[in-house]
Amino acid sequence: MASHKKMDLLGISAFCESLGMMIKAGIPVSEAVNLLGRNHDSKGPLGQALADMERAIDEGSTLAGSMKGAGIFPEYAVKMVEAGESTGRLEDILFRLSSYYKEQHSISRKLRSVIIYPTAMIIMIIIVLVIMLFAVLPRFSEVYNTLTGSIASGSYAYINIAYIFCWVVLILMVLLIVAVIVGIIMWNGKGRETVEKVLAKNSTCASLLENLALYRFTSAYEVFLASGAMQDQAVLDALPMTAYRPVEEKIKTQVIRRMEEGVGFAQAANDAELYEPIYGRMLIPGERSGNSDEVLRRLTELLAADCNDRTEKLVGTIEPLLSGILMITIAIALLSVMLPLIGIMNSIG
C-alpha cells in the first residue's frame, strides 16, 4: 500500500469517533471504513488511504493492520486499535482514542499560541523600531539641524539617546526572533532535548513540560490498561508517550523499580511522587476498589485542564511583558523628539 500524509490530531479523533459509532450500531468494520471513505475525495490522500484500508480489510487484514499499511495514523493509535481488537474492546478503545486525540489537539493549539502570539508581538516591535530608526528619527534630526545647526548639544542630545535605545532593543528583538526560529527547528528535529533543558530553567515552562508529559503518559497508560494489558506492560507501553526525559527517567528509575518489587502502579506512583499529592491520592483508593479505569480517566481530565491553565498562565505572562516593551519603546522615542521641540518653543516664547 502507498504511504500517505499523516492525519492531523483532530482528523484522527473524528475518524475514531465515527468508526466507533458505526461499530456500536452493528456496522461491519469494512463497511464502516467504506462509508467514511465516501465522505472524502477518492483522489485525495485521505480518500485513497481509506480506500486502501477497505481493500486490505476485504483481503483479510485486521483494522489495525490496514491502518498501519495506510500510513496516515500514528503508531500509538495503531497499537491501541490492535489491542482493542485482540481483547474484544475495539469500540471502547476507539472512543477513548477519540477523546485522547481531541484533547491533544486542544492542548497543541494552545501551545502554538504560546509561540505565535509572542512571535507576532516581537515582529511588531521590530517593525516599529525600524520605522523609528529609518523614518521618524532621521526626519526630526533634519528639522532640528536646520533650526539649531546641531542636535548633538544641549537638549537635542535626547535624540541620540533615542537612537541608542532603539538600536539596542532592535538588536535584542532580532536575536530573540532568531532564537525562537532556531528553537522551533531544533524542537521539530534532533535538538528537542536541548530546547527542553533551556525551557526547564524557567519554573513556569518546566512545570508545563512536566504536566504535559504526565498527561500524555497517564492518557496512554489508561487506554492501554483499558485494552486489557497488565499494569507493568501498560506502563512500559505508555512510557514512550511522555516525550520528556525527566519524567521518563523518573518513571523508569522509581515507578517501574517499585512495581518490580511487587507493589501496584498507584502505590509506586505515590511513593515516587510522580503526581502532585492531590492527584496521587486519587489512584490508591481507586485501584483498591477496582475502579482504576474511572479514576485514571478523571485524573487524565484533571491533568489536561491543568495543562490548559498553565498554558494560559504562560501566555498571560508573556503578553503584558512584550506589550510593555512595545509601549516603553514608543514612549521613549516620542519623548526624545518632543523634548527638543518643547525646548525650542520655550526659547521662542
Query: What angle (nearest 5°) sits at the alpha carbon of residue 119, between those of residues 117 and 121?
Result: 70
pLDDT band at 243 (very low <50, low <70, confident <90, very high): confident
pLDDT value at residue 81: 87
Cell of 288: 483498591
In 3D space, the residue among 270, 318, 323 whose CA is nearest the CA of residue 295 turns out to be: 270
The answer to whether 202 and 177 have CB atoms below 8 angstroms apart is no
> For position 251, what pLDDT does the model report?
92
Q: Which pLDDT value is given to residue 152?
A: 45
CA distance linking residue 13 with residue 16, whole number of Å:
5
pLDDT, tens only, 214-241: 888 888 888 788 777 788 888 888 888 8
pLDDT level of residue 1 (50, 70, 90 thresholds):
very low
pLDDT of residue 151: 47
Single-letter code of the amino acid located at 257: R
Tell me the pLDDT tens digit for each residue of 163-183: 888 888 889 889 988 988 888
Confidence of residue 156 (pLDDT cuts 50, 70, 90): low
Q: Residue 148: is its pLDDT beyond 60?
A: no
Q: How far apart, in whole angstroms, are the C-alpha atoms of residue 73 and residue 19?
A: 14
The domains of the chain are located at 9-73, 103-349
**pLDDT tens digits for 70-119?**
888 888 888 888 878 877 888 888 888 888 888 888 878 877 777 887 78
pLDDT, one tens digit per residue, over 17-46 is 988 899 888 888 888 888 887 766 555 567
Residue 212 CA: distances (Å) to CA of 169, 296, 304: 33, 15, 8
Q: What's the whole-number average pLDDT of the chain?
A: 80
- Give one DSSP letter per residue of 4-16, joined into a string: -PPPPHHHHHHHH
